[in-house]
Structures are given as C-alpha cells and as structure tokens.
A = this chain, B = another copy of it.
Amino acid sequence: MMTERIAVETPVLKKNDEYAAENRQWFADRSVSVVNIMSAPGAGKTTLLEKTLPMLGGRFRCAVIEGDLQTDLDAERIRKVGVRAHQINTTCCHLDARMVQGAAETFEDAMPEVLFIENIGNLVCPASYDLGEHLKVTLFSVVEGADKPKKYPKMFRMSDCVVLNKADLLPYSGVAHEELLRNVRDVSPEAEVFTVSARTGEGLDEWVAWLTKRIEALKGKS
C-alpha cells in the first residue's frame, strides 16, 4: 500500500511545486510577504493571529487565508479584528499551492503587503506542500507533550520559527518545558523559538518583534 501511495503522491507533489513556483513569482511581482502558519488542530493558530494582527499596529496592510475542512468560524474571527480574510473549505488534509493561488487572487483589488495563511490543523501533511510562502511558522501547543517534535519532526525541521503556545497551561499540564525546548532544538536547530500564551498575551511581544523584523527584511529585498 505504501509504495502505491508514494507512486501516486509524487506527481501530485511535483505539480504542487510548479504552482508554488508560480505563486512565488506572483507574490514577488506584487511585493507580498507570505507567512504560512501550521499546527495540529486546536494549537491556537486563529487566536495567535487575532492577537498578532493588532500588535503589528497597522505597520503593514495584512490579509489572511483560512484553511478548514468545514465552517468559516476562523475567517469570521479574523474579520472581527478588522482584517480581510478569505476562507477555503476543502475535504483535503492540507492546503496546496493551487488553493492558495485562487484565494490570494481574491485580494487583488487591494493587495496586502503581508498575507498570512492559516493551514489546515494537521501536524503531518501540510509539511509536504510548498505554498510559495516566505516564512514557515509551526505553532505547537505545549500540552501536546514534550516528545512530539521527535515524533513529528518534518514540520518542525522545515520551519523558520516555532511558537510554543498555551504556556499558561504549563504549570498544570505535567509537561516539562525544558525537555520540549531541547527536543525542538534537536530537531530544528536553526529555527527561532518562542514560548507564548496567545490567550493571555504572555511572550507575544518577542514573537511580534521577530515577525516584524523578518517582514521588513523581506520588503527590503522586494
């Protein structure tokens, strides 16, 4: 079964890479910086965005692409903080470059400078799909356990930044923060790592400062 699956997945991934290359050019032509936020379900991607967007303080024109199997609850939450959002509903377990292409085009009348993509909640599949983004961020809920970076290494390894969320639950969860940090660094030594609580706001200043700096650097290049 595995060999069959690999055999059929390969052309799909190759086709995706072609769309991702198109996206990269399309984003470059319009000076859009694109941030792909990935995590397991319920790690707090939407809450992180709800808090981060206002903290960027109107410095950049932003928009969000929301990926979900069902509902447009997340896009509604983003619109409530005054940011445009396009909801993708898909039966697929990840967003692919072509879906992102279609969604990005809906913003073309007033292109954002920064486009955030909130991927489908899944710690496995989204890691295989290049979307043409500039920054990959893995969000991880600390209560999922200190061993998870070792068990799901691919997404951590490829990320520019790992945000460890729900730090407010650390004292109650029995999860060893030091061990989790060590496992993140073992798997992904190059990634910037932040420990935050998107809900309480703890640690978000450092994350937003890093993000701002990286976006400014991308804009400087474009």
Contact = CB atoms under 8 A, between A and B. Distances in A.
Contact of A12 (B4, B42, B96, B123): B4
Interface string A121-141: 111110000000000000001
A150 B8 CA distance: 30
A121 B121 contact: no
A40 B2 CA distance: 22
Nearest to A123: B41
Nearest to A150: B71
Interface stretch (A29-37, A56-64, A169-177): A169-177
Interface residues of A, number: 52
A153 to B, nearest CB: 6
A70 B19 contact: no
Given A69-B154, A70-B151, A150-B71, A143 B1 contact: no
Pairs of residues from A and B, 7 with the lowest C-beta to C-beta distance, nearest first: A42-B144, A1-B98, A8-B8, A93-B124, A42-B145, A40-B41, A41-B123
